[in-house]
Amino acid sequence: MEFNLKKWVQIINFLATLEQEKTNQAIDKLKILKLVWIADRLHLRKYGNPIIGDTYFAMKMWPVASGIKNICDVNERYLPNKAKEYINEYLKKLSHKIRSRKEIDLSCFSESDIEIINKVYDSFWNHDSYKLVDITHNYPEWTKFEKKLQSGEIIQAQMDYLDFFENTPKQDTLFDIDEEHLALSKDIFKENYNFSRLFA
């Protein structure tokens, strides 16, 4: 998966805009991280590819999209030199929250990206960050590391996108996709991922 500053900034801008329209508030950075993970997971299961394709890490409290976190933090250590200018053009950082400065550049997104981002926000807009953290603890891409994270044996572990296709013991309605469709999406992802690695 490749770093895509423009698209990653715009998904944050998209969520910040939706939050402002719905609540007239800036959006919490932790809420952004959770909604991005949910959107990537759902799009992957439904269409065979993630929206952003960030590198995800399981940490003690939650899954973290590392590139999205660095953009939310405007972390110059991990960002290209000119990234800060683009980030500041679209996003205003307010302590632990972010507000949109400029209209979303929707050219970054496919129709299915937009569909899923809207669906995820509509489903979870009224959940605060900590409720969303609790939700993330139900999914196998995080729970496979839970014991080691909680014991302190590890502080983080890179997640495998193939685990995003696994169902929870009690599947929720948002991620409930029939097995045939899910298997097809998984095959599409594996074919695309293997193809891209040939030219990496």
Share of the chain above pLDDT 70, in %: 94
pLDDT > 90: percent of the chain: 62
Indicate the residue type of 142: W
Q: Say what the alpha-carbon torsion angle 185, 187, 192, 195 is, to the nearest 10 degrees.
A: 180
pTM, two decimals, is: 0.91
Q: Which of the four pLDDT bands, split at 50, 70 and 90, describes residue 80?
A: confident
pLDDT above 70 for 32 = yes
Neighbours of 6 (CB within 10 A): 12
Q: Which domain holds residue 71?
A: 5-198
Among the residues of the chain, which ranges form H helices?
5-23, 29-47, 66-73, 83-90, 111-124, 129-136, 140-143, 146-151, 179-198
Which of residues 170 and 103 earns the better pLDDT score?
103
Rounded Cα–Cα distance for residues 160 and 14 (Å): 26
pLDDT of residue 63: 85
Residue 198 has what pLDDT?
38
Residue 116 CA, chain-centre distance (Å), reads: 11
What is the arithmetic mean of pLDDT over 32-56?
A: 94
From CA 116, how far away is CA 119, in angstroms rounded? Answer: 5
Residues 11, 52 contacting (CB under 8 angstroms): yes
DSSP secondary structure code for residue 98 in this structure: E
pLDDT for the residue 199 = 34
As a whole number, mean pLDDT of residues 35-55 equals: 94
**Residue pLDDT, tens place only, 143-166:** 899 899 989 999 999 999 999 999
Contact 27, 19 (CB under 8 A): yes
Query: Rounded to whole angstroms, how far apart are CA atoms 120 and 44?
Result: 13
Looking at the 3D structure of the chain, how many domains does it have? 1
**Mean pLDDT score, 48-65:** 90
